[in-house]
Each structure stands twice: as C-alpha cells, then as structure tokens.
Structure 1
C-alpha cells in the first residue's frame, strides 16, 4: 500500500465533514491523511498558511482578501467549508442599548478583517462609527478568546460564533442582534490555499475535495446518515444533537457562492480596505480544483 500523504488543515472549529471523512475513510481512499489543528486567530492561521506550516485553511473569505499578496503568496478560495454562517452580537450584562457601547472596547479576531468588518457594519446601522471614536476594537483572537475577554470585563461586545454565543448567554450576557439585519447574504467559511502550493500539489488538493464530497454524501444520505451521526457522536462524546446541528450547515456541493463572496469584497471596499491585489473577485477564487474533483466523483 502506498504511504498516505499528510495534508495540514488549520481551522477555527473542527469541520464535521472532515471528521466524518476521516472516520469513513474518504480521505484515505484519496491517499491522504488529514492533520487538522484549531487556530487561536486569523493572523496565526494566515501567516501559517503562507509560511507552509499548514497546506490549507478553513477561514472567512475576507481573510483571503486581506492576506492574499501580503506575505508574498497569492491566496485563493477553492470550495465552501460551511453553508451560511451565524454571526450573533453578544454584549455584557450591563449593556442595555446600542448607545451604551459608546466609548467601550469591543473584542474582535483582528481589527481589519472578517467579522470585525461585519461588527462595524452592524454598529454603523445603529449610529456608531469607529472612525468617529464611538468605540474601539481589541484584537482578542478566535471565539474562545473573545468570550474570555468579555467574561473578564476587558471588552463589552463581540461576535461570538456557536457554541460560544450559547455559553455567553448562559453566563448572563445578552444576544443583541446579528449580521442578517445588514448583511443577510454574508457567506460561510471557505477552504483556501496558496496558489503556489495548489499548483505544485494539484493531485492532493483535488483529492482533498474528492474526500470532502464523498464524506458529505455519507453524512447526508438518508440511508447512511444515522450511522454516520452515531459514529461521530461516539467519537466526540457529545451526543447526537450537536452533531446533527453542525451537519445542517454542511455544503451539499463544492460550488462557491460568488454572490455571497461579492458581499464580503464590497464590505471591505466600503470601509476603505480594498484588497492589495485589487477589487476583481476572480483574483481571489479558483474553482478549477473543485470542477476537476466533481468530474470524477459524479
């Protein structure tokens, strides 16, 4: 048997499709073993991707826009990692109105990327402008770190992705709103690679996507999904309900939602942060790997 090729994946939260694919042997059949790691921040994630510490990232598309070309590598999105996204704004108990956030520090991952811009857009809709000094942003890191910053009273609001939003509410914090009021078409995470790595390792990149597609079928096919959920919940030890909740956001196809990606690009331009490689969406997207994978999987 040929030795499996190791593919390093850096994520914010473990993907149910990757977890399921490992259990089902979807990646092994493509000659791959997936070594996944959870990041503490998008800065760590994207610097590591550019440095070759990891081969692929599951990340917000805005991080692709912000980092492509920054560390000497073009970065492109190749497939969706999540179908839709939940971006709830959580505030500390003492915050009773949007105006109570004036003068307060707010927790974000990085101050100039991804959900920080979403938070700015939500606050803008409620009359608060960062450029006017109405609030400040603190780069606290990923959702667990943002939650911790709020719990300590260092910051007063943040976008907290599930399950950290539920934990914060259980601890007495308040759900104040979410991205849908201003950005209803904001997309979920994408799988991203550097062009250099992808072009030199096309077989492995398409193999990863073939593994994703195979695992998705196993997870979502009514004939096998119950077995898949039982196996995943047994491995994770958290019961079947959270597994099923995560599967509800699994993309059915490897097709990127270009309209959603355009929303992300337009938001960055809105705040005067046009990506360094320009405002042409095609610069940051390469669907050829997914198209090649799908041809052989149909």
Structure 2
C-alpha cells in the first residue's frame, strides 16, 4: 500500500475524497490517503512545495500563481506545480450583506478575499470592473478560505465576498444577497484542480495514477442514479449544517453539467480565462498564454485509458 497526503480547503468539492475512502476505492488501488484541511492558499502552497503534502486540491490559478512566482507564500524562484485533473468549474457567487442591493452599492466598502494575489481575488476584481468600480473604491483585505470568508460576511466584517457552494447557500439562507454568479459575468473559469509537483509526480507516477483511478471510481459512483440517497447521506454527514442547504449543495455537485467534472478534464476556455485575468491583474505583470506550463494530463490519460 502506498501512502499519500492530500491537502484541500474545506468544502463540497471534497465529496469524491469522502466517497473513495468510505467505498474502499483508495484501498482497491493500493492507497492509504490522508486528507488535511488548509486555512488558506498560502499554507497550501507551502505544504505542496516542501513535500509535506503530495497532492493539493485547489483553484487552478494557485498553480499558475506559484509557477510564475507571484504568490504570497514566500517561495522564491517559482515552483514546479502542475494540474493533472479537473474537479469543478468554479461555482463562485458574490454574496453580500442583506442591505447591499447590487454590485454598484459596494463602492467604498472593504471586501474579504483568501489572498490578495490569487485567482479568486482577480475574479472579484474583474466582476467589480465590469460593474464600473475601481480598485481604489473597493479595497480588499486578506481573510482566508471560504469558511473564514463566510464567517467574516455573517459577522459584518465585510460587505461582500466570493463564496463557493455550500457557504453561499448558508449565507443565502440567513438572508444575505447573491449579487452575481462569477461565470455569468466573466465566462468559463477553471476552478478546483488536482495538483502536484512535477518532480514528485515523475518519481511516483504509479501512485498518482492510482489516485486518479480511485477518484474516477468515486465520480462514477456519485453519478450513478441508484446511489443518489447514499451520496446525499454522506454529504450531510461530512458537511453538517442545515439539511436543506446540504441537499441543495449536493444536488449541484451531482448535476452532470454544472457539478463535478465527470471526465476529469480541465476546460480550455476556463484555463484561458484564468490566464487572461492573471495577465491583467498579477504583479509583476506578464502575458501568460501557454497552458502547458501548468498542466500535464498524461497521468489522467494513463489512469483512464484516454
């Protein structure tokens, strides 16, 4: 049995991890997998760079950030991070306090983000620009992952923030406003991907391929109609919270169009948006046009026979 340490944010996109564990898919493929939850993207990048964790489940932009040495983790000279599979397409919504009627009303407000130089901050910046707001009019402050940003919103420490599912549903159930869905404004966007370092992956190809196979088994199990009730029960048990919110979040995840990526590929249009936004907003500025710098799907092809 090979051991594998995985790091991710707390959230619904971890559903295949829970399924692979409980249904024995990891064990079937010769793996003992441990999942650790990170508080923010900076700690996640450090864990992956040092080898403390071998696989990270996080936004594709985080891979680009640290390959281009534009992150906040203090990693000099860039990294050899890469994405080896797609997990979702960034189900992000701009959620705001109940008294904020629209995006224009955020002028003069401070907004919470995970980190100042990673992709979701750039998504938010673009949404604000498209709504006629400048960076000076809506300053950002660093809070951490989705759970921490939800807490900041509920406590009134921020007027608005980008949230994924189910934190967006939690906020909505408490009367907070959904001002816009990110992809409705900016187009396709590559969301959470499976990521590793190229050096580790090359030296542990069999282990990474086994992980992808177990993940694919979990995705197929989640998508099977006869497992619908079991998927819902597992999701409620792992995520907690109000059953109605959990059920709505689970329904989104298993949706064949908007939910978890069934074929584990990464949408080229979503990749292009990530690179466009990073080319526009990252410092130091540079044009980013080559997805091959950040992606290697050969492990996925070997795992799935594609």
TM-score (norm 2): 0.86
Residue number among 8, 12, 17 corresponding to 1:11 in the alignment? 8
Cα distance in 2 for partners of 1:234, 1:106 equals 30
Cα separation, partners in 2 of 1:243 and 1:102, compared to 1, 3 Å:
closer
Matched, 1:150 2:153: yes
Matches within 5 A, 1:47-66: 47-66=46-65
Matched, 1:106 2:103: no
Cα separation, partners in 2 of 1:111 and 1:272, compared to 1, 3 Å:
closer
Matched, 1:75 2:64: no
> Would you identify which runs of 4 or more consecutive aligned residues in structure 1 move more than 4 Å?
237-240, 272-278
In the alignment, what sits opposite 2:30?
31
Shift of 1:234: 7.9
Contact 2:19-2:218 within 8 A present in 1 as well? yes
Cα separation, partners in 2 of 1:246 and 1:105, compared to 1, 3 Å:
same
In the alignment, what sits opposite 2:189?
186
Contact 1:9-1:54 within 8 A present in 2 as well? yes
Matched, 1:247 2:240: no
In the alignment, what sits opposite 2:294?
284
Cα separation, partners in 2 of 1:245 and 1:179, compared to 1, 3 Å:
closer
Matches within 5 A, 1:87-126: 87-126=92-131
Cα distance in 2 for partners of 1:274, 1:27 equals 41
In structure 1, list runs of 5 or more residues that go unmatched.
none
Cα distance in 1 for partners of 2:292, 2:285 equals 12
Matches within 5 A, 1:180-219: 180-219=183-222
Contact 2:80-2:197 within 8 A present in 1 as well? yes
Q: State which drifts further: 273-282 or 90-99.
A: 273-282
Cα separation, partners in 2 of 1:175 and 1:231, compared to 1, 3 Å:
closer
Matches within 5 A, 1:165-184: 165-184=168-187
In structure 2, list runs of 5 or more residues that go unmatched.
70-74
Cα distance in 2 for partners of 1:91, 1:235 equals 28
Cα separation, partners in 2 of 1:264 and 1:278, compared to 1, 3 Å:
closer
Q: State which drifts further: 171-180 or 28-37.
A: 171-180
Shift of 1:118: 0.6
Contact 2:95-2:177 within 8 A present in 1 as well? yes
Contact 2:189-2:269 within 8 A present in 1 as well? no
Cα separation, partners in 2 of 1:237 and 1:49, compared to 1, 3 Å:
closer
**RMSD of Structure 2 on Structure 1 (CA):** 2.4
| Secondary structure in 2 matching 1:54 | coil
